[in-house]
A and B are shown apart, each in its own frame.
Chain A
Amino acid sequence: MSSTSEDVQEFVDKQYKHGFITDIETDTIGAGLSEDVIRVISKKKGEPEFMLEWRLKAYRRWLTMSEPTWAQVRFDPIDYQDIIYYSAPKSPGEGPKSLDDVDPKLLETYTKLGIPLLEQQMLAGIAVDAVFDSVSVVTTFKEKLAEAGVVFCPLSEAVHSHPELVKKYLGSVVPTGDNFFSTLNSAVFSDGSFVYIPKGVRCPMELSTYFRINEAKTGQFERTLIIAEEGSHVSYLEGCTAPMRDENQLHAAVVELVILDNAKIKYSTVQNWYPGDENGKGGIYNFVTKRALCAGINSKISWTQVETGSAITWKYPSCVLRGENSVGEFYSVALTNNYQQADTGTKMIHLGKNTRSTIISKGISAGHGENSYRGLVRIAKTAEGARNYTQCDSLLIGDTCAAHTFPYMEVGNPSAQVEHEATTSKISEDQLFYCQQRGITEEDAVSMIVNGFCKSVFKELPMEFAVEAGKLLSVSLEGAVG
């Protein structure tokens, strides 16, 4: 109603902030996928034979599979031969050993993204693994973590330094052949983070991985593996951004978590891939498989995700609750604005006795956004006394967006208790007017109401992430009203 040119400028500036491109020399292979390409990737990483075999097996399996079509999303067919499967910033020798060896341009990129990698500048208490296109460029605080016995390194390094762990656990939670995208990932994955928390250790700092796609036409296929031994604890965060480009880019990641007796993993994601422009051009296809296996008794996994980016999100962080009394939690905020589409939720697979799970999902749709919650709660015959509570709320902004809920429940044990609550609401004009009457602008009012709606999820995030997530929502909602 009263936008001055200053307001307009501010608005423009607030748009996707991470859309810049880093001009850096890369080692990139040609587009296309074949056994030869996989051999090249494996060779570039200097992998042991067992890894190459593992990849080829996955690739051959993938050739027999077809893209899933059951999700509530629409997109043009992906040409898998038109994707670059490996791109890495050029570095002398075998890759950086320390921060001093890292190309300053890369350090600058991460600083620009708000992730300073120089340890003295970093937030105290957070170690970062920075993944740029296909490779991990640096991992901070490695030595400090090593003192506690914690291994935090690129997966490509773990293949050499801890082959027995990689052999034992890689693919143990998400087997090769699990689904189309995870199988593709198994064949071509290039890097990712590896975390090992030894018995009884409470990880002395938060661990985080920051993913950045830079190169055009490149797919990012990272793989994360976290193993929490008996009685250990770790909190892990991940963030992601990408430049603004007109063509769609594929991100097909796999995350596997293994949690043994009395151990606990808290896994938080703030996903802010480039969402495409206001007409739905460009943006990342975020097709991700994340799964945690609560293998031990009293083990616990807590997933928290804030999904604001990507043109399409297809993601179901899941919990396999095998250990007795194990606990699975899923807290999610998914926002779709403009032409974004999200089909996201979780699977809670109760196998052990007295296993418990909680699902809190908050979907927000604005513009022409499509937002679907899809969740499965399966109580196996063996899951005596299992309990689940699901709460699934949708918030609509405007009248051109959509929200869908697809809850699936399979209860195989009569002693189980399963609860499901769902609501759909709109930000009402009454609410907006009330806030405005108290002096708050319409955009601030929307973000205040949306943040209020997401409160129960945000409180699960580590403090500094919660603040970021709130801001991110506001930015992502720019232009959603008025």
Chain B
Amino acid sequence: MLSIKDLHVSIDGKPILKGINLEVKAGEVHAIMGPNGSGKSTLSQLLAGRSGYTVDSGSVTYKDQDLLELAPEERSWEGVFLAFQYPVEIPGVNNTYLLRAGLNAIRKHRGEAEINAVDFLKLVREKAKLVELDESFLSRSVNQGFSGGEKKRNEIFQMAVLEPALAILDETDSGLDIDALRIVAEGINKLRNEDRAFILITHYQRLLDYIEPDFVHVLADGQIQRSGDKSLALELEREGYSWLDSDTGSETDAA
């Protein structure tokens, strides 16, 4: 589904990603872990189409298309979803209004008819239950006055409604208390299926206690330093990222 090959990305001339390789197939859950400043968020934002990044070399292929050629909304229509680390507030814009406009744009792209108001309401009510989001949130302005945990749950709720093919979750676990973490993780687990792939960007192992990944990658200094199965995450939990310092140091020298 997604194939990233030797991807080099810089911001204002400063290299951030220095040769990323990653293959994601439908049905897989990939966890990308790593210390602060390793390039995790750059990767997720780049995949979703945020401007301000320069791709110096490499390629990103998604469903046999050059993903980097698509506008952000076109990526969304093709099924790429980003759960934001810091969901933005949009005063005066109704939460479900935005979601319905998005869903209809996606449906239109697929050649489907717009969803009518009654069916849509039914759909959002059902999906709101998935993340135990109170219905009052449906009629509020986008993220306005939401607590940190509510914003994250709202992201997962939106994902549930839009039913993406590739969901990228950028530190969705950060800032969540243990109950909220459980709710969010369960919401994600319910959305797992063989057609859908997940990329979980996370700092900590604890999310992976709830969501079992197929692959764990360690991103540091703009490169994937190690890949493995879920045991790698546990190893990181025990030993931290300090072992990376010496490794990356030598690799940089070698490069």
Please list the residues of chain A having a beta carbon within 8 angstroms of any beta carbon in chain B.
Answer: 1-2, 428-431, 433-442, 444, 448-449, 451-456
Find chain A residues with CB under 8 A from B93 CB: 448-449, 451-452
Q: Could you say which of B24-32, B75-83, B184-192, B221-229 contacts chain A?
A: B75-83
Known contacts A439-B103, A442-B73; 15 further A-B pairs (Cβ under 8 A): A2-B71, A2-B74, A433-B72, A434-B88, A435-B98, A437-B49, A438-B99, A438-B101, A439-B101, A440-B101, A440-B102, A441-B73, A441-B105, A452-B93, A454-B92
Q: Mark each residue of chain B from 95 to 118: 1 if its CB lies under 8 Å from any CB of chain A, else 0.
A: 001110111011001000000000
* B residues adjacent to A (C-beta < 8 A): 48-51, 70-77, 81-82, 84, 87-88, 90-94, 97-99, 101-103, 105-106, 109, 141-142, 158, 162
- Once the chains bind, are B90 and A436 in contact (CB under 8 Å)? no
Q: A437-B76, A438-B158 are in contact. Are A453 and B98 (CB under 8 A)?
A: no
Q: Is the CB of A430 within 8 A of B101?
A: no
Residues of chain B within 8 A of A444, CB atoms compared: 101, 105
**Which 3 A-B pairs give the minimum distances between C-beta atoms?**
A452-B92, A438-B102, A452-B93
Interface pair B105/A439, CB less than 8 Å apart:
yes
CA distance A455 to B94 in the complex (A): 10
Which partner residue on chain B sits nearest A445 by CB separation? Answer: B73
Do B92 and A439 touch across chains, with their CB atoms under 8 A apart? no
Minimal beta-carbon separation of B73 from chain A (angstroms): 5
In the bound complex, what is the Cα–Cα distance between A112 and B106 (angstroms)? 34
Say yes or no: B88 contacts A431, CB within 8 Å: yes
- A430 to B88: give the CA distance in the assembly, Å: 7
CB distance from B142 to the nearest CB of A (A): 8
What are the residues of chain B within 8 A of A431 when measuring CB–CB? 88, 90
Cβ-neighbour of B49 out of A436, A453, A454 (below 8 A): A436
CA distance A1 to B70 in the complex (A): 8
Q: Is the CB of B51 within 8 A of A429?
A: yes
Query: Closest approach, in angstroms, between the C-beta of A453 and any C-beta of chain B?
Result: 6
Please name all residues of chain A whose beta carbon is closer than 8 Å to the beta carbon of B71 when the two chains form the complex. 1-2, 436, 441-442
The complex places the Cα of A435 from the Cα of B50 at a distance, in Å, of 12
Please tell me which one of the listed residues A2, A430, A441, A448 contacts residue B98 in the complex, with CB atoms under 8 A apart. Answer: A448
Which B-chain residue is minimally distant from A393 (CB atoms)?
A: B91
A452 to B84, CA, bound (A): 21
Interface pair A449/B73, CB less than 8 Å apart: no
Q: Tell me which of A434, A453, A455 has the highest count of chain B C-beta atoms within 10 A of its own C-beta.
A: A434
A458 to B: closest C-beta gap in Å? 10
Q: Which residue of A lies closest to B103 (CB)?
A: A439
A-B contact pairs, 18 of them (CB 8 A): A1-B71, A2-B71, A433-B50, A434-B87, A434-B142, A435-B98, A436-B71, A436-B76, A438-B98, A438-B101, A439-B105, A439-B109, A444-B101, A449-B92, A452-B90, A452-B94, A452-B141, A453-B91
State whether B91 touches A452 (Cβ < 8 A): yes
Taking CB atoms, residues of chain A closer than 8 Å to B99 are: 438
Identity of the chain B residue whose Cβ is nearest the Cβ of A444 in the assembled complex: B101
Cross-chain pair count, CB within 8 angstroms:
86
Q: Report whether A439 and B87 are in contact in the complex, using a CB–CB cutoff of 8 Å.
A: no
Residue in B closest to A452 when the chains form the complex, CB atoms: B92
Q: Give chain A nearest CB distance to B238 CB in angstroms.
A: 36
The docked-state distance in angstroms from the alpha carbon of A441 to that of B101 is: 10
Q: Chain B residues near A430 (CB, 8 Å)?
A: 88
Residues from chain B with Cβ under 8 Å of A454 in the complex: 92
Cβ–Cβ < 8 Å partners of A449 in chain B: 90, 92-93
- Cα separation A255 to B33 with both chains bound (whole Å): 67
The answer to whether residues A439 and B88 also contact, given A2-B74, A452-B141 and a CB cut-off of 8 A, is: no
| B106, A439: Cβ atoms closer than 8 Å | yes
Residues of A within 8 A of B91 (CB): 452-453
Which residue from B50, B73, B82, B141 sits with its C-beta under 8 Å from A440?
B73
Contact between A2 and B84 (Cβ–Cβ < 8 Å)? no
Indicate if the CB atoms of A438 and B76 lie closer than 8 Å. yes
Say yes or no: A428-B92 contact (C-beta < 8 A), given A440-B102, A442-B73, A444-B101.
Answer: no
**Complex formed: what's the CA distance from A444 to B94 in Å?**
14
Separation of A429 and B99 alpha carbons in the complex (Å) = 19
CA gap between A289 and B34 in the complex, in Å: 64
CB nearest to A429 among chain B residues: B51
The residue that B162 contacts in the complex, of A434, A438, A441, A442, with Cβ under 8 A, is A438
State in angstroms the CA–CA spacing of A433 and B71 once bound together.
10
A2 to B109, CA, bound (A): 14
Shortest CB distance A116–B (Å):
28
- Return chain B residues, CB-CB under 8 Å to A434: 84, 87-88, 90, 142
Given contacts A452-B141, A453-B91, contact A439 B49 (CB under 8 A): no
List of A residues within 8 angstroms of B162 by Cβ: 438-439
Q: Which of B51, B70, B102, B141 touches A439 (beta carbons < 8 Å)?
A: B102
Chain B residue numbers with a CB within 8 Å of A452 are 90-94, 141
B182 to chain A, nearest CB (A): 26
Contacts A441-B105, A448-B98, A448-B101 given; indicate if A436 touches B73 (C-beta within 8 A).
yes
**In the bound complex, what is the Cα–Cα distance between A436 and B102 (angstroms)?**
8
How many Å from the CB of A147 to the closest CB on chain B? Answer: 39
- Is the pair B92, A451 in contact by a Cβ cutoff of 8 Å? yes
| Inter-chain contact A439/B158, CB cutoff 8 Å | no
Tell me the smallest distance from the CB of B106 to a CB of chain A, in Å. 5
- CB-CB under 8 A from A438, the residues of chain B are 76, 98-99, 101-102, 158, 162
Of all chain B residues, the one with the shortest Cβ separation from A436 is B72
Contact A437 B82 (CB under 8 A): yes
Distance in angstroms between the alpha carbons of A433 and B81 in the assembled complex: 12
Q: How far is the CB of A392 from chain B (nearest CB, A)?
A: 15
A442 to B88, CA, bound (A): 16
CB distance from A482 to the nearest CB of B (A): 10
Residues B88 and A453 in contact, CB atoms below 8 Å apart:
no
Which residues on A sit within 8 Å (CB–CB) of B72? 433, 436-437
B85 → A minimal CB distance (Å)? 11
Interface centre among B71, B92, B102, B162 (most CB of A within 10 A): B92
In the docked arrangement, what's the CA distance between A444 and B72, Å? 13
